[in-house]
Structure formats: C-alpha cells, structure tokens
Amino acid sequence: MSRHAASTLAELNGITLAYDDSGGAGDLVVMVMGTGSPGRVWKANQTPALIGAGYRTVTFDNRGIAPSSECAEGFTLDDMVADTAALIEHLNAGPAHVIGTSLGGRITQELALARPELVRSASLLATYGRPTPLLAAHGAGERALYDQGIELPSEFAASITAHMNLSPHTLAEDRAARDWLDIIKFSPQTVTPGVRAQFGLHDGETDRLDAYRQITRPTLVVGFADDRTLPEFLAREVADAIPGAEYAVVQKAGHFGYLEQPDRVNELLLEFLARH
C-alpha cells in the first residue's frame, strides 16, 4: 500500500485501486461513482453529511479512472463489482452500507446480488436495470466520438452536458445556468482510454430486472424527477424488482441530482441508513 496525492493506493482484485477513507469508528459507508467520474465528486455534499452523522466514509476511483488502474484494454461490470467487493474486504470493517449513483448504482445492486454478506444496505441513485434504445444510441455515440477522434467545442460540450444532467428548473434560472455551464466548461470530463473502456460497458447490456428479484439486502432506490440521462422510470423499475425496496423521487433534480438537490438526497440517505 502506498500514498498517491490524497488517496491510498492498494493492490486489489489484480489492479491498483485508489481510495479515500475518512477513518473513525462509525459504521462503514462505501460510495460508488458513475461513468467517467472520480470518487471525489461525493465530497462536495454527501461525505460531509455522512461524516457529520458519525459514519466512516470511503470513496474510490473505479477502474478506468486514474490513479486507479485504467485497464484501457477493457473490462466488464463483473470486474467492477469484484473491485468493490475486494475493497470492502480490504477495509475489514464490513458489511458496508453501499451507495452508488448511475453506473455506480448498477455496480451496487449487482454487488448486493453477488456478495450479500458484504452489503449491510444498498442505496441506489439514478440507477437502471435494463438497456433502452435511447441509452444504446447515446452510448454508441459517446464511443464513436472517441474512436473517431472527434472533440466537440467546449461551449457545445458544456451545453449538452448541462442539458443531459441538470433539471430544467435549474437551467431556467439564468444565473444558475451560467454558473453550471462555467463549472462544466472549466472542469470537463476528460475521455481517457480508461473512460473509453467504461463506455464499453454499455455495449451489449442486458435486462437484469428479473435477477434483481433475488436481492435480499435492505435497499433504497432514489430517482431524479427530471433525469434525462437515466429517466426516473428506470429507477422505479429497479425498486419494483427488488423485494421490499424503498423508493423516493427527488423533484427538480436531473441526473446530477445529488449535486443539484443535495439536502434532500442527504436527508433520504441518512434516514435510510439510520434504520439499517
């Protein structure tokens, strides 16, 4: 194990995994981020609330996101599930409350199915259990842009990112829209070979909803009412499939709902975790 910047590097599941551990004696919460994003995104809003409530939080960079191994040659969702399992085992403080968003939600629900002994509870934000024609088309477009070496003008890329990930209620306020566009423009998602490998996960996805009927861990599913990337009905389908799952919809929230409406998202998470 070694230190790299603010993260701890550990050799787990055959790769290097970078993680940040808040420490402390509280119950363990492991947080799984979505496609193309580093684990530090959770630190804007969720980890401070969880730490403040007494939890030990661990965020990490999924394979594909440096300084974790980029694995540009490609990998599977099962690999990412095994990475998360290996991290929980490495921490030796499980079972863990596991929180995931988007692709991280899918990883979390697959982990709860495959390794239930490691999961105390599962919280799934903006998740999905099956592909749709629109998701497939969007994913194919992302892969084609990278493979063909096409780089969109920064202003256009920022506008698309905002449109796909933010609520119309947010974008209807000119000041808020300008602020978000500036944030996105000046801190864009860089599509590295590792991120391209993450994009490849969406090629050939299958319907897993029936399999999720076998999940036994306490589960909270949160849909974002204005999510254009993974529409809210997809999260509802996952909640309907998992026996006993709780479901909540956050209003005025797009795919980045945990950033747009952090107080409500944190309230839902903390209330759920306190009961499990």
Residues with a catalytic annotation lie at 102, 227, 255
What does DSSP assign to residue 138?
H
Q: In sequence order, which residues have a C-beta less than 8 Å from that of residue 78 and are 6 or more positions away? A: 110
- Spatial distance between the Cα atoms of 4 and 16, rounded to a whole number of angstroms: 11
Half-sphere exposure for 115 (CA within 13 Å, toward CB): 21
Which contiguous run of DSSP H or E holds residue 82? helix 77-91
Burial class (CB in 10 A: 0-12, 13-18, 19+), 151: exposed
Specify which residues 127 forms β-bridges with.
Answer: none
- Spatial distance between the Cα atoms of 124 and 108, rounded to a whole number of angstroms: 7
Residues 19, 59 contacting (CB under 8 angstroms): yes
